Structure 1
Amino acid sequence: MPPVKNFDSKSIPLHDLLRSTKDGKTQLPDFQRSWVWNDDQICSLLASISLSYPIGAVMMLETGNPDVRFQPRPIEGVTLNNPTEPGELILDGQQRLTSLFQTLLSGKPVKTKDTRGKVIYRWYYIDIAKALDPNIDREEAIISVPEDKIIRNFGKEIVADYSTPEKEYQNEMFPVSQIFEGSDWMTSHNEYWDYEKEKVKFFNKFNNDIVKQFEHYDVPIILLHKETLREAVCKVFEKMNSGGVSLTVFELVTATFAVYNFNLREDWATREEELKKHQVLRNIENTDFLQAVTLLATLEKSSVSCKRKDILNLSLEQYKKWADLVTLGFEQAAKFLHTQKIFSDRDLPYQTQLTALAAIFAALGDRTIGAGAIAKLANWYWCGVFGELYNSAIESRLAKDVPQVRDWINGCGAEPDTIRDANFAPDRLLSLYTRRSAAYKGLSALLLRDGGCDFFTSYPIDTLMEFNEAIDIHHIFPKHWCQKNGIAAEVYDCAINKTPLSAKTNKMIGGKAPSIYLTDIEKKSDILEDNLNEILRSHVIDPASLRTDNFDAFFQARKNALLDRIEKAMGKPILREAAKKIEN
């Protein structure tokens, strides 16, 4: 038995295809983006068809599957007096078909852009003489003119005028908009030239060699059967979209919900505006939100999942049921992260773990959870960060964490896998150099959470951040001092020798030895040595080794102290015997 084909291939005359778009029989699914081709691209396309060059296949989806319903919309430039149910939806070929409809069939100037992106309105002509000259590139024969059909130079002087049919005839400029209705234009052209033999012969050659290329041009069509699954439609669009812009699952769900007169874009825009008032949520995407909703919707069925196919199968009823709770969940997540001293999207270790956190809050309901539950949530969160468990297999981790953390907090489930799986290797501290690492960001947040204060002002670092002070991660033993004293870069540049400080304090530190800059700080800030020592301890820095410029003693002591902090945050011991001895 031969395999079942999911598509057919055929060719359709260009004119018939464009008429189908004009009548609304062929439309776009609402997830398609707007038409974006510029003036040069349109000219090149017209030149290709005039030479009967291939312009690529158009891919369409047959409508009629009740399980794969998308809100249709006509291509740009088409106005339908009454809603029309299309027979096919364009998946690939929107830019080409829209360009051709607007230039050949709309009867209006084309709204496009120049190469700088400026919006312009254009009519298109074929220079008859240039088009028939074999020594001239065909694209040079396709002429784009302003809306008033008058070309001017930079001094506003008229260079060419095609603003009346008589001026078109006089200049032998054939309007592209007359391609499929050229007989009337040809008759008037010949009358204008009083049927001069050479002029008639000249135009007849143009008609046969150029115009008829458009009239006889066939467009290859790949038609997906209506039985094609929604997920497959999405995949096909991504693979074939000649615009090079990936289709997001949000856009596909938007088109699905639009069938039921629900505007997902507007709904999300309202939620997004509120959520992004929290700095830590500024990078939240609509797909993150849908993923969290899907986690809750599938949680009801005891088969938790948030893969692409699950999001695509999300019903409008499920979305409406969970969207408000998920919105609240993200807000509660922002509040929780604030208590952990993670204030902005820049400081967030894992964007993906934020989705899990929001879904967990939503799964717990709209009730306020107590201190014990918050402590459990913190243990889970920091295990995810320092175990670096949200680097890969994200969807599987999300699907496990949401039900497991919910049940654990509710007292009816075992410790989540994320806590059991998490382990922080002590020597990982030696490879944390920049904030690109989730663990690096997490370590900085812990220092703030546990009371890290600025050396000079003694203000808590998190307070300075709240008031938009410039805070960054700086060296404790300055880089210049370390280089002078033969400390290896991979040692002095790691997280053990860094801590969050204000820009003002870092400027005072400069490249000085700690013993010197600590004395300077004491004098300039009028602070007692014991008080400054307490501030150093708030950064888990051993004051004695810092004041004696003993890098080795400082380094080992701080490494152990940082591991203590990480252990406390994770709520579980770290296997320290695996640590390597540091050689300077």
Structure 2
Amino acid sequence: MPAISSTFDSQEPFLSELLRDIESGKIQLPDFQRPWVWDDVHIRALLASVSLSYPIGAAMLMQTGGDGARFYPRLIEGVELEKPPEPERLVLDGQQRLTSLYGALFCQNSVSTRDEKQKKLDRLYYFDLQKCLDPDADRLEAIISIPADRIIRADFGRKVKLDISSQEKEYEAGLVPANILLGTEFPTWRLGYMQHFQMDVKKINWITRFEQEVWMRLQQFKVPVIQLLRNTPKEAVCQVFEHVNTGGVALTVFELMTATFAADDFQLREDWDSRKEYLHQHDILQDVGGTEFLQAVTLLSSYKRYHAGGSAVSVKRKDVLNLKLDEYKKYAKLIEAGFINAARLLNLEKIFNKPNLPYGTQFVPLAAVCAYIGKNFEKNTVRNKLKKWYWCGVLGEMYGGANESRYAQDIQDLIAWIDGQSNNEPRTIRDATFSPLRLLSLQSRQSAAYKGLMALMIQQGSHDFASGDPIAHTNGFNLPVDIHHIFPRAWAQEQDIERYYWNSIVNKAPLTSRTNRILSGHAPSIYLERIFKRNAVSEEDLEEILATHFIEPENLYEDNFDDFLLNRASELLDVIEIVMGKPVSGRDSEEVQEEFGGVL
């Protein structure tokens, strides 16, 4: 067995050493780190802690070079170098603290920060001599921040409360600049302070005590550092970063890969932005983001390697993180076209926009498969296979959890089935089932199956009760369409019908908001009469319209909810069987008969 070697070591350098390495560019940030965000109060509190030798927590750095992870670096905020060197280490955790300390204690420029109300500020930090030496004073009150011009004004700028715009004025105010305390400037400032007060014994005593009680603490302050060694693999670096990062915002795969590709001088974000602009012209693709795009590229690339006799198909997080730049460049255009064809397929199935999209996750394998089959997508036999797989995924609710394994199995199964390499249907089709009782528990559009059934109603030709227009046509012209109760809620509650029944998808249909106002809580027999009078719809036409919603007209004319529920549920199951290409089992079970009042 190979020897077990550590992936990290620990150190305890002086704070001044770390800040010097930041100043020189030896320590930088990986480009995936988010911007520095600490406000003025946090900075002052941090300075107070350091000046009292209180611990501020460990930092985590990563060595660069070697065969491990490579990320594009950037200088820590406030550092200005004309030609930054290649960094020796990158900051994984501790960015906010190290950036704040560098800006306040080392950088000669003002610190760009914010107040508690997030208003932008430019500040220089000072230690109040007397307050630092007062044992009863709160050290936070001894740390003050001053505008960049070193003048504090009041009364809308008309009055000057404090002016320390020269060194002599700093002496008079007894304020020591924080950004000289870790460099070589403090001894000179100290001498100038004593000379300014003509070697006054009291002043000498103050500055001497400050030197001993504050300056020396800063000089001797050490920061615990955990350092990942340079050969640590990228997925380990990313996992560590997410576990230790105190910013509280999860890092996406896309951000990590942006930093990775940037190390090879490729701007992933710019490339994705141009593709996103094109893809997002289609409403149904609005939620496709950079991470989903990378997953689809990785899935296609992994399948190509597998098909050529390589390793098993995999699209787990580590696989995306290990995607090579040349693979991305090779397959990105194909995946872009794959997403477009995937959107076309769903539009054919009357799924037009993201609010009505059952599963955004199902786009990933669908786009990858469409990218692989290319022009074969135009074959009707191929599209029919894709549709069957799609509806089994939706109505079988197969894409609701962790999906990486299903992505991998579906691309293999689908392509083999489409290309005729296998007569076996994909496992998603074989495993998908739909329970008749699920019709009652589908109560809101949070469920993929709920959205899918609504799309199927539109696909089967649902027409608006009042206008008679196909709902698919109405959708296309952006007229307000939503899902409404057929037996209105108010009426059902008056009849003491359980919510479990009247709020189920069996009692819902896609209708325009104008038609819903006509329904307005009345019994079906009443609102149908209103429709006759207001819209001059004949009884024969109305019955044809109701049939497009799988509704038996007599049940509405007679306000017969029980028979309506039984008949419509049966019709919906017939449609489900057609699109899934398999029977729905249990339609005659005792439990079904008890809930619906008969066999479905």
Asked whether the two chains share a fold, i.e. TM above 0.5, the reply is: yes
Distance 1:36 1:466 in 2: 44
Please identify, of 344-353 and 568-577, the stretch whose mean Cα deviation from structure 2 is larger: 568-577
Q: Tell me, in whole angstroms, the C-alpha distance in 1 between the residues paired with 2:394 and 2:412.
A: 19
- Asked if 2 retains the 8 angstrom alpha-carbon contact of 1:508 and 1:521, the reply is yes
Deviation sequence 1:70-100 (CA, Å, 0-9, x none): 2122111112222412211111111111111
Alpha-carbon deviations, 1:433-470, whole Å to 9, x = none? 00000000001111111111111111111222222222
Please give the secondary structure, in 1, of the residue aligned with 2:102.
Answer: helix
The equivalent residue for 2:110 is 109
Number of the residue aligned with 1:334: 343
Q: CA deviation at 1:368?
A: 4.5
Match of 1:392 among 401, 425, 443: 401
The whole-number CA distance in structure 2 between the counterparts of 1:89 and 1:9 is 15
SS in 2 for 1:352: coil
Aligned to 1:192: 196
Instruction: Name the aligned partner's letter for residue 358 of structure 2.
Output: P
Of 549, 569, 588, the residue aligned with 1:577 is 588
Give how far 1:3 is off. Answer: 4.5
Distance 1:365 1:104 in 2: 59
CA distance in 2, matches of 1:142, 1:22: 23
Deviations 1:145-178 (A, max 9, x none): 2121111224322222222212111111111111
2:531 aligned to 521, 524, 529, which one?
A: 521
Taking the TM superposition and a 5 Å limit, the aligned residue runs for 1:301-340 are 301-302=305-306, 303-340=312-349
Unaligned runs of 5+ residues in structure 1 are: none
Three-state SS of the structure 2 residue aligned to 1:393 is coil
Q: 1:487 aligns with which of 497, 500, 511?
A: 497
Residue 261 (str. 1) matches residue 265 (str. 2)? yes
Deviates more, 1:401-410 or 1:478-487: 401-410
Candidates 232, 235, 242, aligned match of 1:238: 242
Aligned amino acid, residue 564 of structure 1: D
2:15 is the alignment partner of 1:14: yes
**Alignment match, 2:124:** 123
The one-letter code matched in structure 2 to 1:542 is E
- Give the structure 2 partner of residue 95 of structure 1: 96
Alignment of 1:34-73 (within 5 A): 34-73=35-74
Partner of 2:214: 210
1:170 aligned residue (169, 172, 177): 172
Q: 5 Å matches for 1:86-485? A: 86-156=87-157, 157-180=159-182, 181-302=185-306, 303-413=312-422, 414-485=424-495
Please tell me whether the aligned partners of residues 60 and 90 of structure 1 are also in contact (alpha carbons under 8 angstroms): yes
Cα RMSD after superposing both structures: 1.5
Matched to 1:517, the amino acid is Y
- Provide the rounded CA distance (Å) in 1 between the counterparts of 2:442 and 2:495: 22
C-alpha separation in 2, matches of 1:216 and 1:32: 29
Give the Cα–Cα distance (whole angstroms) in 2 for the partners of residues 204 and 244 of structure 1: 42
What is the deviation of 1:2? 8.3
Instruction: Report deviation, 1:321.
Output: 0.7
CA shift digits 1:317-375 (9 cap, x unpaired): 11111100101111111121111111111111111101121111111125552122111
1:583: how far off? 6.1
Q: Aligned partners of 1:249 and 1:486: how far apart in 2? A: 51
| CA deviations over 1:263-309 (Å, ceiling 9, x no partner) | 11111111112111111111112111111001011101212110011
C-alpha separation between the residues in 2 aligned to 1:410 and 1:278?
29
What is the DSSP-based 3-state SS (H/G/I as helix, E as strand, rest coil) of the residue aligned with 2:223?
A: strand
Is contact 2:69–2:237 with CA below 8 Å preserved after alignment? no
Deviation at 1:505, TM superposition (A): 0.8
Identity over aligned pairs, percent: 47
Cα shift at 1:260: 1.3
Give the 3 Å change call, closer, same or farther, for CA 233–330 of structure 1 in structure 2. same
CA contact (8 A) 1:113 1:119 kept: yes
- Range with greater deviation from structure 2 (416-425 or 390-399): 390-399
- State how far apart, in whole Å, the 2-side matches of 1:113 and 1:218 are: 27
Q: Structure 2: how far apart are the matches of 1:465 and 1:206? A: 74
Distance (whole Å) between structure 1 residues aligned to residue 155 and residue 554 of structure 2: 75
Moved more, 436-445 or 465-474: 465-474
The change in CA–CA distance for 1:154 and 1:402 in structure 2 (over 3 A counts) is: farther
Retained in 1: the 8 A contact 2:68–2:232?
Answer: no
Separation in structure 2 between the aligned mates of residue 158 and residue 453 of structure 1, nearest angstrom: 74
**TM-score, normalised via structure 1 length:** 0.97
SS in 2 for 1:311: helix
- Which stretch of the first structure deviates more once superposed, 58-67 or 326-335? 58-67
C-alpha separation between the residues in 2 aligned to 1:551 and 1:536? 15
Given residue 574 of structure 2, which amino acid in structure 1 is its aligned partner? D
Aligned partners of 1:280 and 1:334 also within 8 Å: yes
Q: Which amino acid aligns with 1:577?
A: D
The residue number in structure 1 matching 2:81 is 80
| Partner SS state of residue 389, structure 1 | coil
CA contact (8 A) 2:279 2:336 kept: yes
Local SS of the residue matching 1:577: coil
Which whole-Å CA distance do the structure 2 matches of 1:411 and 1:5 have between them? 50
Give yes or no for contact 1:27–1:75 (8 Å, CA) kept in 2.
Answer: yes
- Distance apart, 1:66 and its partner CA: 2.9
Q: TM-score, normalised by structure 2?
A: 0.95
Cα contact 2:350–2:459 (8 A) shared by 1: yes
> CA contact under 8 A between 1:11 and 1:218: conserved in structure 2?
yes
For residue 351 of structure 1, give the secondary structure of its aligned residue in structure 2.
coil
State the aligned residue count.
584
Identify if the C-alpha distance between structure 1 residues 510 and 154 changes in structure 2 by more than 3 Å, giving closer, same or farther. Answer: farther
Runs of 4+ more than 6 Å apart: none
In structure 2, give the amino acid aligned to 1:261: D
Shift, 1:541, TM fit: 1.1
- Name the SS of the counterpart of 2:446 in structure 1: coil
Give ranges in structure 2 of 5+ residues lacking alignment.
Answer: 307-311
How far the C-alpha of 1:472 sits from its partner, in A, is: 1.2
Instruction: Give distance in 1, aligned partners of 2:531 and 2:517.
Output: 11
In the alignment, the residues of structure 2 paired with residue 484 and residue 583 of structure 1 have an alpha-carbon distance, to the nearest angstrom, of: 20
C-alpha separation between the residues in 2 aligned to 1:141 and 1:568?
76
Are the aligned partners of 2:370 and 2:377 in contact in 1 as well (CA < 8 Å)? no
